[in-house]
Amino acid sequence: MFTPLFWFFAALTLIFAVAVVVNRNPVASALSLVISFLGLAALFVGLDAYLIGVLQVLVYAGAVMVLFLFIIMLLDLRAEKRRKFNLLGLAGGGIVAAALVLEILYVLSKFPAGNNQFPPLRAEKIDDVREIGAAIFSSYNLPLQVIGVLVLVATVGVVILSKRELK
């Protein structure tokens, strides 16, 4: 990927991910999440994963975010009132997340293979939709069927859960 574009989209993803966490208004958080997902989709395209990038835009930035915004609208959530901060929770969360970042930095510094350039792809056209489809329907056929059942169960579960009376 052309380097300035990588930095631009990586910064976009991370900055708006922080905005998701720090925004007080749930609608602003959800819209920041859309931008973050779009930046991530651009990073996927930069890694030559065109199908995954398109799926990211369609499923996450499209369907999932509409669902989030719809629920926020349905519950009529306002910006949170300023509550007393749970100082212990705040410190604990900050420390654990910072420790995770330090750990990742340490592991990456011990991983010299990751500093190599990405190997070049072949020069001819790359048909990644066909390749992924072939893999899904041959080597990964059983997981595909299981996912199908899972989505069906999720649909039935949502219908049951949204009934007025839970018995």
Partner 1 sequence: MSPTLNHYLLVSGLLFSIGFAGVLLRRNIIIIFMCLELMLNAANLSLVAFSRFNVGANGLPNYNGQVLVFFIITVAAAEVAVGLAVIVALYRSRQTTHVDDITTLKF
Task: Scan residues 42-61 and list those touching partner 1 (CB under 8 A).
Answer: 43-44, 46-49, 51-52, 55-56, 59-60
158 binds partner 1 (CB under 8 A): yes
In whole angstroms, how close is the CB of 123 to partner 1 at the nearest point?
8
DSSP 28-85: HHHHHHHHHHHHHHHHHHHTT-HHHHHHIIIIIIIIIHHHHHHHHHHHT--PPP-PPP
Contact pick of 82, 83, 125, 167 for partner 1 (by CB under 8 A)? 83
8 binds partner 1 (CB under 8 A): no
Q: At what angle do helices 128-137 and 141-161 cross, to 10 degrees?
A: 90
Question: What is the rounded distance in angstroms from the CA atom of residue 19 to the CA atom of residue 15?
Answer: 6
21 binds partner 1 (CB under 8 A): yes
Binding to partner 1 in span 113-132, by CB under 8 A: 113-124, 126, 128, 131-132
